[in-house]
Structure 1
Amino acid sequence: MAEESEFDPEEAEQKEIGREMVDDSTGLGSVAAHLYRGEMERTVEWRSRLDTTTNWAVTVTSAIVAYAFSGEVSHAVILAGLMMGTVFLFIEARRFRDYDIWRSRVRVLQENLFANALDPSKGIEQDAWRAELSADYRDPAPKLGYRAAFSHRLRRVYLPLMSAVLLGWVFHVWAFNPDDSFLEAAALPGIDGRIVVGAVAAYFVALLVLAVPHSSKERGESGSAEHADIDAE
């Protein structure tokens, strides 16, 4: 005959964790549902603003490169496109920090409230997340540093975009000045070609350095509750 396992009250209590949100007597389920819906709406709204910035960056830089190849236009126009892309990158990094505020709150609720409510046996709910979320509502602050946000958007969108613009610039310099060397063709009025090429090379080296992630949260967009306060400024 198999031995009966001893009843552990603490273990039984832990397995009930998360069910309070569906208990009609507490009303927590209704409050949590409305809270989650509101946070999701804000997340979607800021995600839309983020996508709008990306669309404008791609559209503007593409139009500038297309114009540069439309006739006898200086390759300086493409370099201006690089600068415009950089401006959009700074704007998008700032917007991504704002978006991450709402995204992080949604992930905290998903990981600590809904996951435990759906299957309380998979883990023990910790009280720390409630205190952190409460503090965040009292004093909202970005949870991602500007450098981290800059790096994330650079890797996801702007480094490939800038690389495409760079290829367009190289091809323009080479194709529109077949009789000159590359350094001679890259020259601008009053600026030696070596200086122009050196500046472009330094610009892309700086982008590559800034694109290196410094934390696990920078490597992905889904985020995690345990990394919510990484690189906050």
Structure 2
Amino acid sequence: MKMEEDRTSSVREGEGARPLLLPSTPGEVTNTLIHYYRGELGRMTSWRDRIDRTSNWAITVVAALLSVSLSTPTSHHGVLLFGMMLVTLLLMIEARRYRFFDIYRARIRQIERYYFAQILAPEVGTGGEWAMVIARSLRKPRFLLSYQEAMHRRLKRNYGWMYFILLLAWCLKISTPKLQTEGIPALQAQSWAYVIDNAVLGPVPGFAVIAIVVAFYLGMLGFALRPDRDEGEFGHGEAHV
């Protein structure tokens, strides 16, 4: 009777209390852990699919705008600038999704590294606080990555190449007369003044547009090249999304 009382705890719902039966034997604990692992793996996979979906949207946007801008001489170079803005928006959305994905990925890796790996090949001195780490995360979920760190990782892995392609296309658009509406049949721009004139965006002079684009890309380059934070799961192995 005493053992039965120790196995139960009370969970209040409204004014009443209902008993919650907790696993007590090693077999019950293992079975519960397996089901929990499957559930967390499903949530992690779901958020990973959302991340991939956002990346696919960004790739589709870049491909569509490149096709419109470079295949049509009458298209304005502002289409590519608009593409840079859209890619930035998608990067921000993906960074938010990546932060949620990282929560579930960290829980999964705790179980894999400190439980399953120990079953397959036990190691002395392996941390035994993994269950407490997961319990704290379940009781009080919190983000393990800052928003800036999440953006840095997605920019470095995927979006940097998209920005680079858009920049090359934009430079080609404003510097190649054949791609301009009133261009002459030449292979390249005759002078910097020609490039600056082609970079005009409405009332904004071409020099200001070029300066803004250069400043934007220098900022992105510095942001992408900053060192990674080798903490938490990122300090174990190299296979990280």
Q: Smaller-chain TM-score range?
A: 0.7 to 0.9
TM-score, normalised relative to structure 1: 0.79
SS, match of residue 234 in structure 2 = coil
User: What CA deviation, in whole Å up to 9, does each residue of 1:24-53 have, x standing for no partner?
Assistant: 754232122111111111111110000000
Q: 1:194 to 1:51 in 2, by over 3 A?
A: same
C-alpha separation in 2, matches of 1:36 and 1:64: 42
- After TM superposition, the runs of 4+ consecutive aligned structure 1 residues lying more than 6 A away are none
* Equivalences, count: 199
Q: 1:205 to 1:28 in 2, by over 3 A?
A: same
Report the RMSD for the aligned CA atoms in angstroms: 2.1
User: What CA deviation, in whole Å up to 9, does each residue of 1:85-143 have, x standing for no partner?
Assistant: 000000000000011011111111111111112222x2334332221111100011111
SS, match of residue 27 in structure 1 = helix
Task: Indicate the percent of aligned positions where both proteins have the same amino acid.
Answer: 31
| Paired letter, 2:46 | E
Q: Structure 2 stretches of 5 or more lacking a match?
A: 1-24, 184-188
Q: Is the 8 A contact 1:152 1:213 kept in 2?
A: no
* 1:56-205 pair list within 5 angstroms: 56-69=57-70, 70-120=72-122, 122-175=123-176, 176=180, 177=183, 178=189, 181-205=194-218
Q: Is the 8 A contact 2:114 2:128 kept in 1?
A: no
User: What CA deviation, in whole Å up to 9, does each residue of 1:211-232 have, x standing for no partner?
Assistant: 12341259xxx73579xxxxxx
Q: Structure 1 stretches of 5 or more lacking a match?
A: 1-23, 227-233
C-alpha separation in 1, matches of 2:92 and 2:38: 30
| Paired letter, 1:216 | D
Structure 1 residues 55-64 or 92-101, which shifts more? 55-64
SS, match of residue 54 in structure 2 = helix
Structure with the larger RCO, 1 or 2 (CA within 8 Å, 6+ apart): 1
C-alpha separation in 2, matches of 1:58 and 1:136: 34
Q: Is the 8 A contact 1:108 1:225 kept in 2?
A: no
Q: 1:38 to 1:223 in 2, by over 3 A?
A: farther
C-alpha separation in 2, matches of 1:102 and 1:66: 38
Structure with bigger strand share is: 2
Q: Is the 8 A contact 1:104 1:223 kept in 2?
A: no
C-alpha separation in 2, matches of 1:86 and 1:191: 21
2:223 counterpart of 1:210:
yes
